[in-house]
Structure 1
Amino acid sequence: MSLKLYLPAIVLAFAMVFFIFDIISDVLSNEDGFLHLSLELMVFMAISLVLFHELQHVKSLNKVIIIEKSKTARLAGELLQVMKEQFAKWQLTPSECEVSLLLIKGLSMKEIAEARQVKEKTVRGQATAIYAKANCAGRHELAAYFIEDLMREV
């Protein structure tokens, strides 16, 4: 887990340790009065309660993070499935499907050619065929086709 999530709890834990040692040293030295010890003990108890609350909050945040990661993964898988189904409707070849995904991801023609170990000219030809079959002017319209629905307010 991220240190940022636990930083307040760590600070509170150090404050608790400080107050424990201070209370123990005050009791052993018999130099401080009852009021001073009572005040330090109340501060220690307050810090303990806040620390407990903070740890519960971090625990609940971790649960939310796990749920959201799961939703994101599911939605990404669903989007990929929707894309593949649309590619089939457009009658893209397997190579064109692969190039389409890479175009939508934002890779350049050169990067796609390197990743697929083909010439850049081949990728450009496939991209032109994809745009024609999808009735899109370019990669921006191709990507917009799939993300348009995701951006609508529910």
Structure 2
Amino acid sequence: MKLSQTSLLWLLLVVQAVCAAFFMTDAVLDWTGGESAGFRHLHSFELALALALIAGLAATVALIRSQNRRVSQMQRQLSVAQGAFAQLIDAQFSDWNLSEAERDVALLSIKGLSIAEIAQLRQTKEGTIKAQSAAVYRKAGVAGRLQLLSFFIDELLSEPLVKHRADGSNSAP
């Protein structure tokens, strides 16, 4: 049976807590000058606990490195997915023959900005943004913002952006 990383972390936490409790008790007894019958001749037990702490540290370092590698891999995959999605949007905008202004308005609409927010961002009037939005919807063959967004979500979900190769690496389509 293989332990999951979460289970291993909990096990390490328990081992370190037991070691800490023992060493704290031993330190308090040493400081107060009191000796308990159970703590007189435990040098080999102290050595075993110290080795357990060192092993816990080594395992924790290994898990941190493993998690860092996993995060890096996920960031690379996300970067590929973002790039592929941006390319998909750009190619579709070209197919629809959108002007630069219409591309900007369409992209900001897809991102969820309101007409007023887009007008403020582009430093133009809301009427202009409404006209450009209508042109985008007409050229895209959709009825409005939700259908435009739905078009790209359908494209995104229809084919994986990151394909897994037999060797375990990833590639963009």
Bin of the TM-score, shorter chain as denominator length: 0.7 to 0.9
Counterpart in the other structure of 2:126: 120
Larger helix proportion, structure 1 or 2?
Answer: 1
Superposed displacement of residue 137, structure 1: 1.4
On the 8 A contact 2:119/2:126 being kept in 1, the answer is: yes
Paired positions, count: 147
Instruction: Report the CA distance between 1:136 and its aligned residue.
Output: 0.9
Paired position in structure 1 for 2:47: 41
| In structure 1, distance between residues paired with 2:74 and 2:134 | 37
How does the TM-score come out when normalised to structure 1? 0.77
Structure 2 unaligned runs (5+)?
Answer: 1-9, 161-173
Q: For 1:3-82, what aligned pairs fall within 5 Å after superposition?
A: 32-34=39-41, 36-82=42-88
Residue 100 of structure 2 corresponds to 94
Q: Which amino acid aligns with 1:67?
A: Q
Map Cα deviations across residues 31-50 of structure 1 (whole Å, 9 max, x no partner). 5433x232232222222212
Partner Cα separation in structure 1 for residue 15 and residue 122 of structure 2: 53
Cα 1:96–1:120 shift into 2, 3 Å: same
1:97-146 superposed Cα distances (whole Å, 9 cap, x missing partner): 01111000000111100110000111011111100100111111111211
Query: Is the partner of 1:148 in helix, strand or coil?
Result: helix
| Contact map agreement 1:104 1:143 (CA 8 A) in 2 | yes
Flag structure 1 segments of 5+ consecutive residues without an equivalent: 1-7
Aligned residues: CA RMSD: 3.3
**Within 2, Cα distance between the matches of 1:17 and 1:57?**
21
TM-score by length of structure 2 reads 0.69
- What is the letter of the counterpart of residue 60 of structure 2? E
Separation (CA, whole Å) in 2 of partners of 1:116 and 1:11: 57
Per the TM alignment, residue 96 of structure 1 is displaced from its structure 2 partner at its CA by 0.3
Conserved 8 A contact 1:26-1:37: no
Q: Percentage identity across aligned positions?
A: 32
Task: Check conservation: 1:19, 1:44, Cα contact below 8 A.
Answer: no
Once structures 1 and 2 are overlaid, which stretch shifts more, 138-147 or 38-47?
38-47
What SS does the corresponding residue of 1:81 show, helix, strand or coil?
helix
Structure 2 letter corresponding to 1:124: K
Q: Is the 8 A contact 1:13 1:51 kept in 2?
A: no
8 A Cα contact 1:23 1:40, kept in partner: no
